[in-house]
Amino acid sequence: NSFIVIGGGILGASTAYHLALKGAEVTLVDRRDTGQATSAGAGIICPWLSQRRNKPWYRLVKAGARYYPELIKQLEDVNEKNTGYAKVGALSLHHDTNKLDKMEERAIKRREDAPEIGEITRLSPLEARRHFPLLAEGYGAVHVSGGARVDGRALRDSLLKAAKKLGVKVIRDNASLIVENSQVTGVTVGKTKLTSDKVILTEGAWANDLLQKLNIKVLVKPQKGQIVHLKLDIENSGWPVVIPPNDYYLLHFGEGRVVIGATRENDKGFDSRVTAGGLEEVFREAFTFAPGLADGEVLETRVGFRPFTPGFLPVIGAVPDVERLLFANGLGASGLTSGPFLGAELARLALGSETELCLEDYNVAGAIEKLN
């Protein structure tokens, strides 16, 4: 069984790693575009409080969050300890007590089949400030002990290093498909032709290029995100991740490093500039719930392109009418949560093993259109 994976973000890295774990022969080709979503993403792993009603989406992110501790243990066992993951708990804020009641109810209900949520604690504004001292006055919170944070690039690198230890060949270059009679037989990298039994596409927001050759239009679009890293003169390794009511968030990596994000810009294409308007938006929203952040030193701003399908749901599966080609994409704003698990599912699919989720719910038809 030989495979070529195109794209080395969280999804491709996880797919290659899981294929290699099962003894497959794998080559991963990644050209690491500026704005790779995984490289910019600093993620909150806390899907259980979301109000989004889409059930397949929730099943996927729930499975993704559940899988993390097992995956991190596997990586640590092969001496990949710098995974960027830590279960620090999550604090979900609101100033409206009715909203907090509903949030708490939702968490308790969802814990029935997701015990990994851990302990659920309702906190008064005063108690919430004990967990997160920079919090503005008047915010109560629901605290869930199972919430975690992850640094996308650290996890990607540990997956790639673990994959290499299992024999995966990683090439940093552009790949294009070799197509013969509606069959994908391999890829071209520079002047070299590589063949394999199957090719697996995980190219994130850039997915439209390769399938044009097969008269297929990919409907995945980039959503630009700008995310700011600050340094505060304060010890913060005990802080939870903080989810305010406004769609923005804050998380930390200890030693005073705090990450605040992020913009969601749908009409910017692949413009990877850090903009004044983007920074203004992130700061304005973050300062409303944590004004003390204004004293932080700005270390850097990362920009990434989240890949979104028209239905905002990830897709995974074979490309219709094309042999030996698998496609997965559309991880959107929750791809650090779902990506490692979805990569494991993609590896199972590629190897013909049973998957944990019913993949029909994530049909690739939701992301592609056949052109004539």
Contact set with ligand FAD (CB under 6 A): 6-12, 29-33, 36-38, 40-41, 43-44, 152, 174-175, 202-206, 209-210, 225, 227, 261-262, 304, 306-307, 331-337, 339
DSSP for 21-84? HTT-EEEEE----TT-HHHH-EEEE-GGG-----HHHHHHHHHHHHHHHHHHHHHHHTT-----
* Smallest distance from ligand FAD to CB 364, Å: 14
Query: Which residue, 103 or 187, is less far from ligand FAD as judged by CB?
Result: 187
Rounded Cα distance between 329 and 339, Å, is 10
Rounded Cα distance between 9 and 75, Å, is 17
| Tokens coding 205 | 């927001």
* Smallest distance from ligand FAD to CB 322, Å: 16
Using Cβ positions, the residue closest to ligand FAD within the complex turns out to be 335
Query: Which residue, 82 or 122, is less far from ligand FAD as judged by CB?
Result: 82
* Smallest distance from ligand FAD to CB 118, Å: 18
Query: Which residue, 31 or 111, is less far from ligand FAD as judged by CB?
Result: 31
Query: Which residue, 29 or 75, is less far from ligand FAD as judged by CB?
Result: 29
Select from 79, 37, 256, 269 the least CA-distant residue to 165: 79
Query: Which residue, 38 or 196, is less far from ligand FAD as judged by CB?
Result: 38
Query: Which residue, 31 or 169, is less far from ligand FAD as judged by CB?
Result: 31
Single-letter code of the amino acid located at 141: A
Strand duo 198-201 + 325-329: pairing? parallel
Find out whether 184 and 323 touch, Cβ atoms under 8 Å.
yes
* Smallest distance from ligand FAD to CB 32, Å: 5
**Helix 152-165 with 335-350: angle, nearest 10 deg:** 20
* Smallest distance from ligand FAD to CB 101, Å: 25
Residue with tokens 């030693």: 255
| Tokens coding 150 | 């992850």
What is the four-CA torsion angle of 349, 353, 358, 360, rounded to 10 degrees?
A: 40
| Tokens coding 52 | 């989004």
Query: Which residue, 130 or 193, is less far from ligand FAD as judged by CB?
Result: 193
Rounded Cα distance between 323 and 7, Å, is 19
Rounded Cα distance between 166 and 161, Å, is 9
- Give the number of other Cβ atoms within 10 Å of residue 92's Cβ: 29
* Smallest distance from ligand FAD to CB 36, Å: 4
How many angstroms separate the most distant Cα atoms in the chain?
A: 67
* Smallest distance from ligand FAD to CB 98, Å: 26
Query: Which residue, 79 or 212, is less far from ligand FAD as judged by CB?
Result: 212
| Tokens coding 313 | 């749901």
* Smallest distance from ligand FAD to CB 14, Å: 8
Find out whether 273 and 236 touch, Cβ atoms under 8 Å.
no
Query: Which residue, 126 or 298, is less far from ligand FAD as judged by CB?
Result: 298
* Smallest distance from ligand FAD to CB 5, Å: 9
